[in-house]
Structure 1
């Protein structure tokens, strides 16, 4: 499952980076998916990070 972060919604809380630093990083003050980790959406920790994102900027899809 593919992960993406909508930069228009993200306000840079860093919660995703704190929760799953192996998948998320901060880029220019916003959350981003580490290149090569875009398909880690099946990971339960990634799903939790998406659910708990304060700005609801993380999406997981096909």
Structure 2
């Protein structure tokens, strides 16, 4: 069994590209200014690949995934 996924974001460095929302909409959203909003810091196992992809495609590298 895989360890649970833990996600964190650095909102101060977010540039609002929105790639995280497109890649993992169950985990990420954007506020009215386009800045990342983390919907859950413990996504479901089924979202693991999408969350890791969101970490990879973020141009500002503000997403950290552990697990």
What is the TM-score normalised by the length of structure 2? 0.76
Q: How many residues align?
A: 60
Unaligned runs of 5+ in 2: none
User: In 1, Cα distance between the equivalents of 2:11 and 2:53?
Assistant: 19
TM-score, with length taken from structure 1: 0.81
After superposing on structure 2, the runs of 4+ consecutive aligned residues of structure 1 that deviate more than 6 Å are none
Matched, 1:61 2:43: no
Root-mean-square deviation over aligned CA pairs:
1.8
Listed one character per residue, the Cα deviations across residues 26-47 of structure 1 (whole Å, up to 9, x for unaligned) are: 024201211xx21128511110
Larger Rg: 2
Which structure: greater helix fraction? Answer: 2
